[in-house]
Amino acid sequence: MDVKFNNRDPVYVQVIRQFKEQIATGYFEPGQEIPSRRELANQLKINPNTAQRAYKEMEEQGLIFTEGKLPSRITKDEQVLKMVREELILEAVDTFVHSVRSINVPVQEALNLVKNKYDREMN
Amino acid sequence: MIEIKNVTKKFGRKKVLKDVSFTAKKGEITCLIGINGVGKTTIMKAIMALTPINSGEILIDGEKIHKGSYEKITFIPDTITMLPQMQIRDAFVFMADFYDCWNQGRATELLQFFKLKETDRISELSKGNTAKVNLILGLAMDVDYVLMDEPFSGIDIFSREQIADVFTSHLIEDRGVIITTHEINDIEHLIDKVVLLDNGVVLKEFDAEEVREKEGKSVIDVMREVYKA
């Protein structure tokens, strides 16, 4: 995991986002074991307290779970996993819509451009 | 917790610390930021009782510093204090003689981490490697608090990264760290708390994540606001 953090968003929020992306893309599978807080801090070069906070938050959101003293794992809850993916897609769409609207692009034109770009990148 | 309460310090007529108060918790990295000459090093020396203060109080876990405190708190100055003709292993022996809390296992581990040899002579080390040895001497003590004076200054980027790595490892975890610096960039994501100093005065004390969360500002944004005001 190699992440470039920005300096203005809370680091723990950026860590959670990173996890969500990796869940959505399937890098993390449901039920997969994740690094310990200390390992994560060391991998990402962040403060162990921040790693701790990110994990706590993710537990509360149901993204990860911990049974007893065992390492934490990615949730197996289909509903949550689906929501993570949807959340990321909606966020990306929001950003896109926001920036094309600011230059007054009609929706059909924008959609065509998106489709063409997609087709080109797929090939 | 280290508590600095209303500390004032004069060198002759010059007041170098004016009513300085802040706290540094165990398990957290507290960063003292300020340009040269604002009193960062003086604060560290005052905490270690290496320089007398004129008024105010400094408490470590609720008590004033005493002889036994030096097994609980250590200071890593910005220059190495070992004799130049010593080999690294001689410096280790020296530390072991002096401190009960010296942890040779950890010293060896750190030496490997930094890829240094114990037969290297202090006087023949590069600036970056000298800084690393200096850091080892402090971190290999089983103390609760570590004070580091400018551990990154004048050191190449790879050594800086290596030193920053130490901060996220078990070598630091659970200890209370106070670090002084004027280059925050490398460690912005590593620190818990920031104390901004200017001219012997604490201008602002804040939690780095909290400022990002509540105000959407980086540590450098806050510094710009405070110092340019």
Q: Which residue of B has its CA nearest to A6?
A: B218
For the domain made up of A11-122, the CATH class stated in words is mainly alpha
Higher-pLDDT residue of B212 and B228 is B212
Under an 8 A CB cutoff, do A47 and B192 touch?
yes
**Residues near B124 by beta carbon (within 8 Å), at least 6 away in sequence:** none
pLDDT at B109: 92
Which of B73, B19, B29, B27 minimizes the C-alpha distance to B49?
B73
Q: How confident is the model at residue B171 (pLDDT cuts 50, 70, 90)?
A: confident
pLDDT tops 90 at residue A4: no
Indicate yes or no: CB of B164 within 8 angstroms of CB of A45: yes
Condensed to tens digits (0 to 9), the pLDDT of residues B125-143 reads 998 899 999 999 999 999 9
CATH number of the domain to which B115 belongs: 3.40.50.300
> If pLDDT is split at 50, 70 and 90, which confidence band does B60 have?
very high
Count the neighbouring beta carbons within 10 Å of the beta carbon of residue B163: 20
CB distance from B157 to chain A under 8 Å?
A: no
Domain that holds residue B146: 2-228
Q: How many domains does chain B have?
A: 1
On whether any CB of chain B is under 8 Å from the CB of A12, the answer is: yes
Q: Is B207 on the interface with A (CB under 8 A)?
A: no
Binned at pLDDT 50, 70 and 90, residue B187 comes out as confident
Of A6, A10, A48, the CB nearest to B213: A10
pLDDT at residue A1 tops 60: no
Which A-chain residues 45-64 have CB contacts (< 8 A) with chain B? Answer: 45-50, 53
Tell me what percent of the residues of chain B surpass a pLDDT of 90.
74
pLDDT given at position B183: 77
SS (H, E, C) A54-75: HHHHHHHCCCEECCCCCCCEEC
